[in-house]
Each structure stands twice: as C-alpha cells, then as structure tokens.
C-alpha cells in the first residue's frame, strides 16, 4: 500500500497561488499571504460618449513604468486596440498611439496588434460601458511606478481637430476627432496610498511613435471625458485557504 502523499506546506501553496494570480510575475507576499495590488478606479462621462459622432465608449490603455529600471508593463487595454478589430478598416494607428509604441517596446514586435497577432489575453479588457469601472495589477510591495492612462473617444471633433480641414486640405480619415489624452501619476506600492493622475498631454496627430504634445489649449470636450481617476494601493488575499 502506497503512503498517502503529504500536502505541501501552506506557505508553498500561497507562493504558487501568487504566481498564478499575479498576471506577469510573482510578487512578494505580505505576512498572512496577502498580495499588493494597484486599483485604477475610473469614472467616465457616459453622456459625452453618447454625444460623440459614433456614440461608442472610448479606447483606453493603462500601463506602468518602473522608476528603478524603466521597464514598462501593460495593465490593460480595450479589446479593439488589443486585437486590431476595427470596423470598416484594417488598422487605426490614431486610436492609442502612445500605447501602441509601449506595446512594441514591451513585446519587441513591430507594427500594431492584429487579429493574427493580438496583445496578450492577460491584458485585453472588455471596453467599459458603465460609468465606473476598476482595473487592477499586482506589484511588488514597496516598488515605485509611473502610472500612465491613455484614452481616446472617436468622433469628438472640435475647431482644432475637425473632420475636414478645408484650409489645409486635410480630412480626418480615421474620424478620430480630438487625439488621445495622457494622464500620469507617480506612486509607491505602499498599502493605503492613493493618488490622482493629472492630465499630462495629448498624442500628436499624424505620428506613429505616439509623440506627446504638452500644450493642451487645442483640447476642449475631451478634457472632461473622464470625470475622475484614482489609483489605490490595497492588499488582497492571495488564496482562499
């Protein structure tokens, strides 16, 4: 009769659980088997979405840049941008130009995500259609990050970004309207910490590298698309033992 296998020690099980749930790497556990999580709490203006030409929720990406190393890590990106699934066109480089550049840097790939070569399932998120939503990422306790959020609502034209610029003889063929906006915040992964990202700039039109313009004077209604953004550092149980 074979002896009954011994159950692995509880700490080992906790470590394995943390690796499985970490979404891109094992972070150190707090005493009691807790893990450190960044919560990105976002509130969007549904009325502004409905007033745009297409009435569709915005494309959104959130990523982290590690202060110590400069390493970038995507937290989440909305499905169309992550998979290159656009309506009536094969690609839309103006949707989230800065994140597309981050994606190339993070993965070593060239070009944009496509249905044949999409972003990883782990970072692909359903496009939020509710007013409030929360995205999360596990990080090392005490680590320091620059947090970025990029958002773009299609069809929100204004005087500076019209559908047709007759004077310049140029048409917005992607029907982008105002370009994507970037929000930025720095944070240390200490539970209880809360920060509010600030509007940092917008991506320059007609560039492929996601170049950023800091002068926000051409931006109008897009400024209020996101009513609020808050990042919280919290502790979560690693496994329900």
Residue range 113-138, pLDDT digits in tens: 999 999 999 999 999 999 999 999 99
DSSP string, the chain: -PPPPPPPPHHHHHHHHHHHHSSSSPPPPBTTTEEEEEEEEEEE-HHHHHHSSS-PPPEEEEEEEETTT--EEEEEEEHHHHHT--SSSS--TTSSHHHHHHHHHHH---S---SSSPPPGGGEEPPP-SSEEEEEEEE-TT-EEEEEEEEE-TTB--SSS-SEETTTTEE-TT--BSPPEEEEEEEE--TT-EE--EEEEEEPTT-SS--EE---TT--GGGGSEEEEEEEEEEEESS--
- Per-residue pLDDT at 177 exceeds 50: yes
- Per-residue pLDDT at 238 exceeds 70: no
Using 50, 70 and 90 to split pLDDT, how confident is the model at 28?
low
For the ranges 61-65, 159-163, 167-171, the lowest mean pLDDT is seen at 167-171
- Per-residue pLDDT at 188 exceeds 90: yes
For the entire predicted model, the pTM comes to: 0.85
Using 50, 70 and 90 to split pLDDT, how confident is the model at 32?
low
- Per-residue pLDDT at 16 exceeds 60: no
């Amino acid at each position: 009769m074979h002896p009954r296998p011994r159950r692995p020690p509880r700490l080992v099980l906790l470590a394995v659980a943390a690796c499985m749930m970490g979404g891109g790497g094992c972070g150190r556990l707090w005493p009691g088997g807790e893990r450190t999580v960044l919560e990105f709490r976002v509130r969007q203006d549904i009325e502004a979405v409905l007033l745009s030409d297409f009435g569709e929720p915005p494309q959104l990406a959130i990523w982290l840049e590690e202060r110590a190393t400069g390493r970038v890590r995507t937290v989440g990106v909305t499905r169309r941008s992550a998979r290159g699934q656009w309506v009536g066109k094969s690609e839309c480089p103006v949707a989230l130009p800065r994140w597309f550049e981050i994606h190339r840097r993070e993965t070593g790939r060239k070009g944009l995500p496509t249905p044949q070569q999409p972003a990883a399932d782990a970072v692909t998120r359903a496009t939020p259609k509710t007013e409030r939503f929360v995205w999360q990422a596990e990080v090392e306790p005490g680590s320091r990050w620059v947090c970025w959020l990029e958002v773009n609502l299609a069809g929100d034209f204004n005087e500076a970004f019209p559908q047709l610029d007759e004077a310049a003889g140029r048409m917005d063929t992607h029907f982008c309207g105002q370009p994507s906006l970037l929000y930025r915040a720095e944070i240390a992964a200490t539970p209880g910490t809360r920060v509010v990202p600030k509007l940092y700039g917008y991506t320059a039109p007609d560039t492929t590298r996601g170049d950023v313009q800091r002068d926000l004077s051409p931006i109008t209604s897009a400024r209020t698309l996101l009513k609020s953004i808050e990042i919280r550092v919290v502790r979560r149980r690693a496994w329900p033992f």
